[in-house]
Structure 1
Amino acid sequence: MNPATRAALAGARRSPRRLLLTGLAVLVATVFAAAAVILTATLRGDLTGDLSSVPAGASFSVRTDGAGDGTGDGAVVERLRAVPGVDAVSASRSGLVSVDAGAASGSWVLSTDPMTGPLHTLDPPTAGRLPTGPGEVLLGTGTAERTGLGPGATVGVGGRTLTVTGVVPLRYEGNDMLVLSDDDPAAAGLSGSRIAVAGDPDPAALAAVPGVGGVTTADEQRDADLASASASADALLAGLSVFVGLALVAAAVVVASTFRIVLARRTRELALLRCVGASRRQVARSVLAEAVLTGLVAGIGGAALAVAGGWAVLAVVGASGTDAPALVVPWGRLAGCVLLAAVVTVLAALAPALAAGRTPPVVALGAADATGARAPRARVRLPLAALALLAAGGLAAVAVEVGDALPGTALAALSGLLVFAALVVAGPFVVSGAARAVAPLVARWAPGRIAVGNARRMSRRTAAMTTVLSLGVGLTAALLVAVAGASADARDAIDRNYPADVVVFPGGVDGDTGVLAARLDAAPELTARVSDGVVLVEPVPGADPVAVRSAVARGAGDASATFVADMREQTETAVGAVRGVGLGLVGVTLLVAVVGVGVTLALSVSERTREIALLRTLGLSRAASRRAVAAEAALAGAVAAVLGVVLGGAYGVLALAATGIGVPAAGVPVGQLAGLAAAVVAVAVAASVGPVRRAGRIEPAHGVVAA
């Protein structure tokens, strides 16, 4: 074992807490990265088992060559049944139909299934029984829960009354769903383009059937379906990788800051190593070896936590009665996550390691406790920050002018990354300026003066907390603004395109809009008129909502009826889901930033033990020492909140402009942004609880001994 590795291991044995604090941010980011890998692998495995639409008992999958209308499919099915060797044929068909089901009336998904034989695809009913003939239908479990319907209930479809015989679990139930047998007359008009065949026929004979566009074996079709499923899972991983990368960038900034603080406390130790003959390269290698160890421990711990979390989540889901997929753990990719954690940690520690190698031996005669007070070099940092800002401004202008949503959004994101880079470079000057601005406000409050003075003296350390926090806040603010704009645009589009409570689109046998409008207008609960090829329906004042829905379902027949209230509700639900998922993903970066605040303050208090003790000797109370650390966290949180909200809000507006949506008439969500800013300051102060308690335990006697 080389001396650098021995020194790193010895340091870890002497201070495991320091190893934990240094790698904590990387551990959090690795948990996220490993969880993303496990999620996509589990999703791929689940889709591999269930996504293919080819029934388990099928031998061949047949594609029709027509437009897929129900009549044509039915004729092809009958011809295929006559082919020698064919045991069963089933056409998978589905479509939206108007359903009269009381308060739940509207457009439902109607699909077919053989119900029995080798080609059926349904699970056993959870209530009732399978249909045994025409006129009987199954409800999806989600539909039964939403509507309150069950076995014995009746629903109207296309002028026919169907009896619900059972409730069956279906894989996807975003809409209300009905399932009936293949030969039910209500299935006429449903679309379908893939037919399953069971038995041992000659493929050439199947291909020769009029109306058949192609024949593949069932296994070949399943492989194609599974390849598509894997592509979807890979696309999900690619999307998650963006947020994993942001979390790792935030972790790298935190690690670099913590290594600077740790090495500042070990300045005398490093100088003594130089005194006994260690070269600059050996000292730097020792620090990098410690970084490798820190990254490996954090990576292994993060991967282990992700696996344990995956098992726990699926166990809870299974215990709740929900069908949970089997957990798939891709050990090779998890090893890649661990390696990535080590690489990120080493890269983050590179600059502090090189600085440690430059420690002169003479420092051993009397080193200060901290080197973080060295002023940043303005001649280097400010020009770099200015160049990054100029490039960001140019990319933002191009993003607005490009006229294409995807490239425009990508350019806006790249512009935002350049702004963040400029903030990292110029962060110490931003923090110093903020501290100077706050100084007059806390001039009569001792803890505030200490916090402001420390922020100015240790501007690089405070800037590390601030910039990482501002990244998380900025992403959150941009998401809130973008989602608010998209939601307002969707509501405006609904109001423009659906200028009535109910819009009926003629189709099928009801293609004559005049006849359709007259039939709907004849209902006492409705008024209807034709406009631009569709029928606009309004309920009469005081009409019962259930009666209105039933009247629309009866009058619409095979036409598609859209209830605008339902569409608005679905839009808000979808927007809420997007907002929730986005905030969850962005929240990981924010979590890493908050961890960074806690870690940096903990190491800072440890570094300043002697300073705090001397202040206690001069009369600073225990409570005031605690308040000073909390005030430092609040200052970092406030600066990050202002920068993040302003920059994130601006980039949210830029993203809306790049996608052609524009700023909504109501403007940006000021209330949400103000709440975000207040929450960030509160969370930053909460993250300082540990360091605050430790600062309060420092006794004045510590000022006369080495910290």
Structure 2
Amino acid sequence: MLRTIIAGLKARTARLVLSSVAIALGVAFVTGTLVLGDAMNASMRDEFAKSARGVDVSVTLNGATDSKGITPETLAKIRQTPGVAGADPRGYASVPLMTSSGKARPAIATPLAGNDKLREFDLASGRYPDRANEVAVDVRTADTAKLSIGQPVKLLGTDDQTREYTLVGTYKQGVGEMSMASGDHLVLTPDAFQALDPERLPYQVVAVAANGFTQQQVADNLKKSLGENGFEIQTGEQLTERTLKQISSQAAEFTAFLLAFAVIALVVAAMVIYNTFTILVAQRTRELALMRCVGASRKQVFRGVLAEAVVMGFAASVLGLLGGLGVSAALQVVIGSFDDRGADVVVRLPITVTTVLAAFGVGVVVTVLSAVLPARKATRVPPVAALRSQPDSGEEVSRTGKLRVLSAGLLAVLGAVAVVLGMKQEKEEPAMFISGAGTMVLLLAVLVLGPLLVGPVNRVLGAVPRAIFGVPAKLASANAGRNPKRTAATTAALMIGVTIVAMVTVVANSAKQTASEQVDQRLPADYTVTSSVYDRPLPPELATRLAAVPEVAKVAPTNRVSTVDAYFTGVSTDALGDLFRPKVESGSLGDLRDGTVALRADYAKEQGLSVGSTTTLKTEDASETVKVVAIVSGQRLADGVLTLGTVAKLSPGVDGYDSIMVKLKPGVANGRAAVEKVTDASPLALIDSAAETKAQLNKQLDQVLAFVWALIGLAVVIALFGIANTLTLSVLERTRESALLRALGLTRGQLRLMLVVESILMALMGAAIGLVLGVGFGWVITTALSSEAVKLAFIIPFGQIGAMLAAAVVAAVVAAAMPARRAARTSVVAGMAEA
């Protein structure tokens, strides 16, 4: 029996190649994702090691104190504690970096540690600053800001005065609390850093242990010296372990996201394998029957088919493991390209025992499991089958039609219930999860019903080719429908991929349209002037100067305030209903005055407040009791709306505005230039328009959509391999039939056309059903994610859907190329002689 299996593998090597490629692609995606996860962990560990290296003890505030940082007195105590050889504070200051155009861009300055062991970065070029008028910047800042050693660097101090430094070096920093923040990064001497913001206190002190002291001993001494109230004292090992745990958790979440797409690819690949073995078993009916006649038992036949699956799975796993390295490298490059700060992409390809075992486990197990049903079917071939020809599966489908309809109906009901339940959820996450699960159950129902759908769909899609191409198209349509189970299994793989792609595309385009509508609603102003630095408000006189511009019709400044448990937007009362117009659910915005508030609907519901209620808003500096005069909804309203006067009472120390909305007079053609003349004088002022905001949002959504398309695209490619494989095996199966058609007058070109049309029909079946399901599921998701505050528009991107269908046709033609060429080249005499 072993010799028979080996001989069978040699005889059917070509038939198994495309199936092996399909499963290899699936394995490549899984192993590539695992390698990517390991690479991300390794990269983060190495990078974080820079911020933790040399640290024997860390001291931070634990929240049990009102102090805003570690005081100089505490720093002195730490340095005087027995066992401390050296200690340096770690702090940060938001210090805008001035560009050559005179505009400020966000930057974070940190003090240079006096102890070399406690420096959390590596020198890249030049040297570290040792004078008060010198500065070093990280390599990404030097790249994006176009800075080179020796150039002057201008920083905007807290007093809005520009200070000039000389750039003396660049460095590479690791992953730490400050480096994770956006913006530019630079380092100054401790004295220069303190001069930028004298009131700023460090958030952490790191220390090096003296010779003869362990980390734990120094930590214990610090606890005695400082007391445990108000401070969190950790050894360097504890600090590293806790942070790496957080980093590993983040990397695991992203890996799980990618593995979801890998599972989809494997499911599609499993369908291709199942279909392949089903066809092979059907083609070998006589062979299996003869084996039974000469003494092979059912178990031997079963084991023989599974042995072929094991060999194919093992070979595919080897290819998939190697391909996974390429997939990981490609994903690392793609993810690195999303970094707007121009980070250099370092590709890492760590291979662990877990990854290798997963590659072979997934590849072999999925292949074997996919071959179980066909192998079981092979054991049911009776010896007498050696005397008759192979029947089509049409009768079998008709026999099991009632069972299929019943199973599909049950799944459809379960899916519909989940969809309805998800749509009734108020929170977005459970709504999306439950509705999404319901759509997948509905997809499964369609898959179960697949063989019964092949006939009707084939007749509809085949009408046009039959009318255009005549006899070859009629034969192709008949071939596509003669074996419904096989066609359904072949098209199901493509249908899954297209369904998910279409669903994501509909949701993404709906989100883009909704975002654009929200921008139009939220930004009725022609321009919005904002501060380039988060914690630096725009000067009040800027609003006055803008209002005096002849081309400007109205100016409306806004502000923000954070209370103990909420966040509010402050607007001028004359902007209500014009430049600021949220949807009013109850009450009236016309009643908004100092001492009143309009609450966002969700926040009001959470707090149990309604129109007429009173509530007390508390900040660090003040408190104010306000009356609720309106309930409003809309995007980015914070938790409520206050007047600028109320915001000023809650934040008495803030002098300036968060943003200034500008509305031009009708018919003004050069409004932006007029506004820029005023804003150019302010280094903090940035001009934004609704069109620019839309473009930025659309760019971000397009990046996410392209990334998802690339991930799910692998499943589509595997499905197309399945179509090519089915056609190839069908050509071998129908050798005598093709020869007979040639003998009856069908030309080589017509034979090729017949196979191409058959391939196109199968691709269109999968793509058409997938598009219908994808659009429907997209509607379900957008409806489930809609809320009273934001109702997602439902957009069908007909252009992209048309492109998908066109791509399916082109791919089908390519998939049919080799089988059609093989069929046309077969001799009529040789084909008629085929057993």
Q: TM-score w.r.t. structure 1 length?
A: 0.88
Cα shift at 1:505: 10
Q: 2:797 aligns with which of 640, 653, 669?
A: 669
Which residue does the alignment assign to 2:153? 154
The correspondence for 1:301, drawn from 309, 315, 319, is 319
In 1: Cα distance, 2:535 partner to 2:429 partner: 37
- In 2, the alpha carbon distance for the partners of 1:570 and 1:703 equals 61
Deviations 1:138-168 (A, max 9, x none): 3443333333344413333232323350444
Indicate conservation of the 8 Å contact 1:106/1:549, yes or no: no
> Which one of the candidate residues 755, 761, 766 is aligned to 1:629?
755
- SS of alignment partner, residue 214 of structure 1: strand
Letter paired with 1:415: G
Match of 1:606 among 729, 732, 743: 732
Q: 1:627 to 1:104 in 2, by over 3 A?
A: farther
Q: Which amino acid aligns with 1:334?
A: V
Unaligned runs of 5+ in 1: none
Change (3 A) 1:114 1:610: same
1:132 is aligned, of 130, 133, 144, to 130
Equivalent positions of 1:186-225 (< 5 A) are 186=196, 193-200=203-210, 202-207=218-223, 208-209=225-226, 213-225=231-243
1:466 pairs with 2:491: yes
Distance 1:188 1:493 in 2: 42
* Aligned residue among 37, 55, 58 for 1:40: 37
State the Cα deviation string for residues 512-531 of structure 1 (Å, max 9, x = none).
x8xx3225545899886433
**Superposition map of 1:558-637 within 5 A:** 570-637=696-763
User: Matches of residues 682-693 of structure 1 in structure 2 within 5 Å?
Assistant: 682-693=810-821
CA distance in 2, matches of 1:44, 1:104: 40
Secondary structure, aligned partner of 2:54: coil
Deviation at 1:408, TM superposition (A): 2.0
Residue number in structure 1 paired with 2:581: none
Matching residue of 1:389 = 412
Task: Quote the residue 1:408 is aligned against.
Answer: 431
Instruction: Give the conservation status (yes or no) of the 8 Å contact 1:283–1:356.
Output: yes
Q: Secondary structure at the match of 2:226?
A: coil
Query: Which secondary structure does the structure 2 equivalent of 1:57 belong to?
Result: coil
Match of 1:337 in 2: 359
- Whether the aligned pair in 2 keeps the contact of 1:502 and 1:562 (CA below 8 Å) is yes
Residue 28 (str. 1) matches residue 25 (str. 2): yes
The answer to whether the 8 A contact 1:399-1:407 is kept is yes
CA RMSD of aligned residues (A): 3.5
The answer (yes or no) to whether the contact 1:69–1:192 under 8 Å persists in 2 is: no
Unaligned runs of 5+ in 2: 337-341, 559-569, 571-643, 645-656, 665-670
Measure how far apart 1:655 and its partner are: 1.8
The answer to whether the aligner puts 1:543 opposite 2:673 as a matched pair is yes
Partner SS, residue 414 of structure 1: helix
Superposed, 1:258-407 pairs within 5 Å as: 258-307=276-325, 322=344, 324=346, 326-368=348-390, 371-372=392-393, 374-376=395-397, 377-407=400-430
Deviation at 1:59, TM superposition (A): 1.2
**Equivalent residue for 1:226?**
244
Q: Secondary structure of the equivalent of 2:207? A: strand
Larger CA deviation: 108-117 vs 692-701: 108-117
**Residue identity matched to 1:301:** L
Moved more, 613-622 or 668-677: 668-677
Mapped pair 1:434 → 2:457: yes
Alpha-carbon distance in 1 for matches of 2:449, 2:737: 27
Which shifted more, 214-223 or 654-663? 654-663
Query: Does the CA-based 8 Å contact 1:637-1:684 persist in structure 2?
Result: yes
CA deviation after TM superposition for structure 1 residue 479, in Å: 1.1
- Displacement of 1:702: 2.8
Write the distance in 2 (CA, Å) between the matches of 1:24 and 1:249: 14
What corresponds to 2:823 in structure 1? 695
TM-superposed CA distance for 1:696, in Å, is: 2.1
1:176 has 2:168 as partner: no
2:777 maps to which residue?
651
Q: Does the CA contact (< 8 Å) of 1:142 and 1:176 recur in 2?
A: no
Report the 3-state secondary structure (helix = DSSP H, G, I; strand = E; otherwise coil) of the residue aligned with 1:412: helix
Give the deviation of 1:40 after TM superposition: 0.8
State the distance in 1 between where 2:490 and 2:783 align: 31
Task: Please identify, of 143-152 and 693-702, the stretch whose mean Cα deviation from structure 2 is larger.
Answer: 143-152
Aligned residues: 692
CA offsets per residue over residues 29-87 of structure 1, 9 Å max, x none? 01111111111112111212112574412211111135898664666445433434434
Q: Is the 8 A contact 1:76 1:212 kept in 2?
A: no
C-alpha deviation, 1:371, in angstroms: 4.6
Structure 1 residue 567: Cα displacement: 6.0
- SS of the residue 1:393 aligns to: helix
State the shift of 1:215 in Å: 0.8
Q: Establish whether residue 501 from structure 1 lines up as the match of residue 518 from structure 2.
A: no
| C-alpha separation in 2, matches of 1:70 and 1:59 | 24
- Checking the alignment, whether the CA contact within 8 Å between 1:125 and 1:169 is kept in structure 2 is yes
Identity of aligned residues (%): 26
Whole-Å Cα distance in 2 between the matches of residues 471 and 169 of structure 1?
45
Distance in 1, Cα, partners of 2:491 & 2:689: 46
Does the 8 A contact of 2:96 with 2:533 survive in 1? no
Match of 2:634 in 1: none
- Report how far residue 455 of structure 1 moved: 1.0
Q: Is the 8 A contact 1:598 1:688 kept in 2?
A: yes
The more displaced of 433-442 and 656-665 is 656-665
Deviates more, 1:297-306 or 1:605-614: 297-306
Does residue 249 (structure 1) correspond to residue 267 (structure 2)? The answer is: yes
| Distance in 2 (alpha carbons) for counterparts of 1:173 and 1:228 | 13
- Give how far 1:698 is off: 2.0
Judged with a 3 Å threshold, the aligned counterparts in structure 2 of structure 1 residues 463 and 205 are, in CA distance, closer, same or farther, namely same
